[in-house]
Every structure is written in C-alpha cells, then in structure tokens.
Structure 1
Amino acid sequence: MSTNTAAASLHVLVIVASTRPGRLGPAIADWFVQATLPAASSGEVTLDVADLADIGLPLLDEPEHPSSGVYAHEHTRAWSRRVAAADAFVVVTPEYNYAMPAALKNALDFLYHEWAWKPVAFVSYGNTSAGTRSVQMAKQVVTTLKMMPIGATVALRIADSTSNGQVLRSAGLDETARRMLLELTRVASAMRPLRTEPESEVTGPVDGLRLTTAQPDDLAELLVLQRCCWVQEALANDTLDLAPLRETLDELRESMSTWHLWCVRRQGRLVAAVRARARERAWLIGRLMVAPDQAGSGIGTWLLSHVEQQAPQEAAHYELFTGRRSTRNIKLYERAGYVLSLAEGTPHDAVRLTKQRQPVARLG
C-alpha cells in the first residue's frame, strides 16, 4: 500500500518485519500510516508500506557480496529498487527471544549501498519489553550499514496497546507517532547531501573521480550525457537510428530493473557511465560513455576495467557491441583485449566484440 502526494520530496518506506501467520505487524503499520498521514501530507512525504511477508525474500541466495551491487536474482533487484528509492525507513518489528525477526535480518543482509546514509526509526511491539530488545539488536546491524537510527521510537506493549488484533488509538499515541515521523524526516533532509554525493573519490586516470551505482536521481542527467555521446556515433555511422538517441527517461528508468548501471562524477558533474547484465555465461557490457570533453583521458578504459570486475562468478566471457564504423571505440576495445566476433542476430550496422574472462581466485 502507498499514499502519495503530488510533489513528494521525501519517500519513507515502512517495513513490516514479521512474516508469521497471525502477526500484528500489518495492523500496527496501518495504524502508523493513518496516524501520521496528515503530517506526511502537509510535509510532502510519501509513506510506502513494504510487508516482508508479501515480498517473500528467500534466505540470502546471492553469490556475490551485496557491496558489489551485482545481483543474480530478480527478487533481489526488485528489493534493491524499493530500498534505493527510499529516503528513510520505519521498521515495525516484534521481539522474538530477545532479538529481531530473522526475516528482518535477512532483508537487511540482501543489500548494502541502498541502505547507506539514510535514517531509520522503529515501531516495536511485544510483551514485557514492548519489543525494545529487538530494536537494540537491530540498531547494531543498521549502523553497520551506515544507517542512522533516530532517537524517537514508538514501543507498544501488546496487552496495553492492542485489542482484537488492532491498535487502541488515542490522541497521545498518535502524537507520539507523528513526532517520530517529523524527527525522521528532519534527519532524512539533513542527510540527503550524503546520499546525493558519492562517498569518496576513487583512484582513476584523472583526479576527482567518484564512481557509484546509478540512482534514480542520476537518470535525467545520464540521459543528457548519453545523447551528447551518441551524437558522435551518429556522425561516424551516418545514421540517427540509434537506440541511445531514441531512449526516453521512462525507458532508462525501466532499464534499472534488468541492467546494473554505474555513474562517474568529477567535481559533481556526471562525466561517464556504463551498464552491464548477465546472460547465461556472458557478462554483457553496454552504453559505455565518456563526456566528449573528457575523452582521451583514460576514463573509458578505466571504467571498462571496473565493470569487467563486477561480473558474476559464473560469467565466462565479456561481450559488447558498437557501431560498424565506430573505429575509435573498436580500437579502445581491442586495446583492452577484445576481439571481433561473429554472432547470429548482430545488427548489420554493428559489430560484436568478446573477451575471455581470466579465472579469478575467490575466498569464502
């Protein structure tokens, strides 16, 4: 469920942590949304409920470390998109044996960068401790993921605060929830620069490069860069009928569900990008682009090497396509070890290049 305002500036994901039959979590989440909806609407905040029982994540089954951002399964990519779109979180959690539910720990473990630099608040419920020991355990985990637990919390003793599976509403309890949301959104606004600016510079061919996985806020600028870069391809191949020139913002946004995208910024400006995805035993690399005024500085070669390193373990070779007359691109790829390769289905105006992957020793 979700409630939307016309121009929401902050997106808060309310996570229902319990998945067992007969749970109180959905009712408590519904109470929280209803109690805070007036404040959310007036503050241009979107509330979106993510019920882990409905999301149905399996026990962590990704072969790559979450920090790589390389996900083999669609359930992980869908969860990644949901979490990445959020500016803050409210976790509705019970306490099981002095601890948080295993489903919550599993959902946190699936991802890494998507959680970082975002605040989190807790609505806990239970018997003797009102779920507060679950929250204490969860705080140790979320801080490791670079999240910021806020001071305000809501703790509900089941015997005192619920009846027949519903929260016993009161003006005081609703006000506690409202104040928690206001504190959460204030912290989310303050932390926004940490989320929009990459964490640190990386060692690249020129100074000041910052490499991150693409976020929804990057897409409009990425589309402009893409069109600038493919003007040269259009001239070299004597055609405007190129997919990167036709792609819309909605199509680019949709591509995030099937492709991994990386962006490179220099002094805040988007100067390069690339995408990749797995297909059987191949790691497909596409839309490698460098701003025209940055070309020739080594950024393209450096970014190509980075995206090769992100390939999943089962990938046996890298594969990419470029225009048949794009001699500059072809030379770059050949210098990086790629060879021209024939394949059925290759467009008549394009060439396919492949490179065998060298075996990599892996620990763990």
Structure 2
Amino acid sequence: MSSNSSGDLRVLVITASTRPGRLGPAITDWFVRTVRPAAASDAITVDVADLADVALPLLDEPEHPAHGSYRHEHTRRWSRTVAAADAFVVVTPEYNFGMPAALKNAFDFLYHEWAWKPVAFVSYGNTSAGTRSAQMAKQVVTTLRMMPVGATVALRIADTVHDGQVAGSAALDAAARAVLGELSRVARALRPLRGGTDPTVVDAPVTGLTLREAQAGDLAELLVLQRCCWVQEAIVNDTLDLVPLRETIDDLRASLETWRWWCVRRDGRLVAAVRARAQERAWLIGRLMVAPDQAGNGIGSWLLSYAEGQAPEQTTHCTLFTGHRSIRNISRYERAGYTRTATGDIPPDSVRLSKPRTLQLTGAVQHGVPVV
C-alpha cells in the first residue's frame, strides 16, 4: 500500500523502545549511517520513525484497523508514515523474552498499511542478543501479511555497545548492509502485490480502482489533477482567481496536516481524489475531482459517498461548496440530497450545500466537475 510507484524504494527504520535511557536511538543511528551509502547507490531512501516521538497511546480507535476509518489524528499520521514505506527495519530490544509493548501497539493500530511489505530485524539484548523479541514479532507481522526476511543483525550489548554507542566492525557493518540488500530485493519483488489492498475498492463502479489515504508521494500528481479539473470550473465561473488554480505543492503538503485526503488510482495512475475534515458539527468535503477522461462512469458519485461515510460520529451533516455559476453542478448535488444554506461564512462567488448525515445518497454527482 505504498504510494511510491517509481523505481525508488523507501525503507522505514522503526526504533521500538520508548523507555528512558534506552539504547535504541544509538543502534538505529549506527544502522542508518552504515547502510546509507549503499542505499543511495541502490535508489533507496532510508527514513526513521522513533516510537517515542510517534507517541501513540494505547490503541484507542473504535473501528477495526482493517476498515481504515481512523478517528484520531495520531493514527492518521502513523498511517501516512507506514503507508509511504515499501519495507521496514525494526530495531528492538528484548523485554522478558518478548518485544516491547510499544512495538506491538504500533503494529495493532494499522492493518492494510503493513501488507505485502518485507521487514527485517535488528535486535539487541544480553544473553540472547534480543533474538527472542524478533521471533515474537515475526509471529505478529506475518499475520499482517508482512514478510520477514532471513537476514538479521543481533547485537549482544556487552560485546558491541560501549559508552552508549555501537562499536562497529567490518563484520557487523557487512551484516547491516546485507539486511538492506535482502530487504530491497524482496521489496521490489513484492511491489506488484502492493497495488491496492483497501476493501473500499470492492464496490467501485470501475474495475482496477484502488483507494487509499494520500501520501507525500501523491502530491505532484494531485496538483496536476487539481489544475486540470478546475479549468472547467474557471471557464464556467469566468474567473481564474480560484484557490485550487493558485495552490502550490507546498500548499497541498500543508493540507495533509489538517485534511484527510483520499486518492483513487487506476492501474497506478491517479484518476480521482477528495478531501474532508470535521469543522465543528459539519463534515466538510472538498476537492472532489475526477480526471476528465474518466468522467461519466460513476467514480465521482462513488467517491463522494465514500467521503460521506468517513464522517466522525460527532458530526451531524456534510457540507460542500461550489461556484455560484456552476448551475449544472449545483443541480446535481441537490439531486444527491444536498440543499443550499446561507448560514455561516461563505467564500465569495460560492454556494454552500449541506446534507444531513442520515440522508442516503439519492442522486448522481456530475463526474469530473470539481467541488471547491
């Protein structure tokens, strides 16, 4: 479920221990410094996620992770981080013959984001060098449809850690590079399986569609799609002064922090997108867009319905905006159950439409016509 469709690979190194005085960050630092030259030569980007910084609470999502419907922003941030990766290296100690509770908790928050990706382990400890922690974790990751690779690094603290730092050696550094090498080969082999595993595509109106939350790697394509879709809106409303036409890729990147974005791909190509966020009691839906050559086949209606279904329980209605001259667009939203409302702040030259969450979708949305 990685959004990375190029030849590059993104490897996420996860520091599993969160306790004060931990060795995890030092071991992670050694591993990353050791493999980074080899990674650069093999088109691999190495990122780090320290679970102490991620700071996930004990699993607090009311929905099953397989549904991909996350109520909390900390879950959505973790989802974006994991989904963007093609493979993982877990740096883990051994606590009482097992893995840290923080690592198990981090696994449990998500489901589809882990699928069809390889994982390697760098373990550390005393007598067993943390190997029993890695064995316990392997039972969990295989259930998440991950593939543990054979190459590992096991550090016995007394032999390899001095003054809080890893005392590297030729053999140890070679073992780290071997982990990255095997991980990258398996990640590339599994790439075809990562095309789309989200169950929301089951009832899609067009075959071959995959739907997932947007990642940083989607931003360039999102910007192109947005500008293509808003050209028609600009013509209808006789103005180029539209926010979606002025936004930059940095603006879209910033919006990932305050909006939930969903991207729809067809055979790897981005063909549709939508975003939404809660605003007091409203579920605000925007940037609904479908590529012009994909219009007319139901993707827009399906995607709008999906976005409506993601509304948090505390919201009472869905709201969207469109241009005041977009008569056909307004008419179609009204047939879908939305009604015009003049309450609250409304952007200039725009129309606000709202729909109670309990009202079923009754009409079709004009596919390919954007919602501001």
TM-score of the pair, normalised by structure 2: 0.87
Question: Where does residue 357 of structure 2 map in the other structure?
Answer: 357
- Over the aligned positions, Cα root-mean-square deviation in angstroms equals 2.4
* Alignment of structure 1 residues 153-302 onto 2, 5 Å: 153-195=152-194, 197-199=195-197, 202-302=202-302
Q: What is the one-letter code of the residue matched to 2:166? A: V
Q: Which moved more, 1:24-33 or 1:107-116?
A: 107-116
CA deviations over 1:157-198 (Å, ceiling 9, x no partner)? 223333333323221111111111111122222233333x22
Question: Where does residue 3 of structure 1 map in the other structure?
Answer: none
Question: Where does residue 110 of structure 2 map in the other structure?
Answer: 111
Change (3 A) 1:12 1:294: closer
Residue identity (%): 72
Question: Where does residue 44 of structure 1 map in the other structure?
Answer: 43
CA deviations over 1:41-78 (Å, ceiling 9, x no partner)? 33233322222223322222334443444444333333
Change (3 A) 1:307 1:120: same
Q: Are residues 1:132 and 2:159 paired?
A: no
Separation of aligned partners in 1, 2:228 and 2:119: 39
Please give the secondary structure, in 2, of the residue aligned with 1:143: helix
Separation of aligned partners in 1, 2:67 and 2:280: 19
Question: Where does residue 31 of structure 1 map in the other structure?
Answer: 30
Question: Where does residue 368 of structure 2 map in the other structure?
Answer: none
- Does the 8 Å contact 1:15/1:49 carry over to 2? yes
Separation of aligned partners in 2, 1:268 and 1:160: 47
Separation of aligned partners in 2, 1:302 and 1:41: 41
- Does the 8 Å contact 2:80/2:214 carry over to 1? no
Separation of aligned partners in 2, 1:173 and 1:269: 42
Cα displacement (A) at 1:340: 0.7
- Does the 8 Å contact 2:70/2:76 carry over to 1? yes
Separation of aligned partners in 1, 2:207 and 2:56: 41
Please give the secondary structure, in 1, of the residue aligned with 2:168: coil
Separation of aligned partners in 2, 1:256 and 1:73: 14
Cα displacement (A) at 1:353: 0.9
Q: Are residues 1:96 and 2:83 paired?
A: no
- Does the 8 Å contact 1:77/1:257 carry over to 2? no
Cα displacement (A) at 1:276: 1.1
Please give the secondary structure, in 2, of the residue aligned with 1:40: helix
Separation of aligned partners in 2, 1:8 and 1:194: 15
Please give the secondary structure, in 2, of the residue aligned with 1:318: strand
Cα displacement (A) at 1:249: 2.0
Please give the secondary structure, in 2, of the residue aligned with 1:283: strand
Please give the secondary structure, in 1, of the residue aligned with 2:128: coil
Change (3 A) 1:280 1:224: same
Separation of aligned partners in 1, 2:204 and 2:172: 53
Cα displacement (A) at 1:222: 2.5
Cα displacement (A) at 1:113: 3.1
| Structure 1: runs of 5 or more not aligned | 1-6
Q: Which moved more, 1:140-149 or 1:315-324?
A: 140-149
Separation of aligned partners in 2, 1:255 and 1:68: 23
Separation of aligned partners in 1, 2:51 and 2:263: 30
- Does the 8 Å contact 1:301/1:332 carry over to 2? no
- Corresponding pairs, count: 353
- Does the 8 Å contact 1:8/1:45 carry over to 2? no
Q: Which moved more, 1:11-20 or 1:203-212?
A: 203-212
Please give the secondary structure, in 1, of the residue aligned with 2:188: helix
Question: Where does residue 151 of structure 1 map in the other structure?
Answer: 150
- Does the 8 Å contact 2:337/2:359 carry over to 1? no
Separation of aligned partners in 2, 1:213 and 1:255: 13
TM-score of the pair, normalised by structure 1: 0.88
Q: Which moved more, 1:28-37 or 1:276-285?
A: 28-37
| Structure 2: runs of 5 or more not aligned | 1-5, 361-372
- Does the 8 Å contact 2:112/2:197 carry over to 1? no
- Does the 8 Å contact 2:276/2:307 carry over to 1? yes
Q: What is the one-letter code of the residue matched to 1:111? A: L
Q: What is the one-letter code of the residue matched to 2:169? A: S
- Does the 8 Å contact 1:211/1:263 carry over to 2? yes
CA deviations over 1:133-175 (Å, ceiling 9, x no partner)? 2112211222232322111111122233333333232211111
Change (3 A) 1:50 1:299: closer
Cα displacement (A) at 1:322: 0.8
- Does the 8 Å contact 1:290/1:300 carry over to 2? yes
Q: Which moved more, 1:200-209 or 1:266-275?
A: 200-209
Cα displacement (A) at 1:93: 0.4
Separation of aligned partners in 2, 1:267 and 1:37: 32
- Does the 8 Å contact 1:66/1:110 carry over to 2? yes
Cα displacement (A) at 1:267: 4.2
CA deviations over 1:107-156 (Å, ceiling 9, x no partner)? 22223333233221100112232212211221122223232211111112
Change (3 A) 1:126 1:317: same
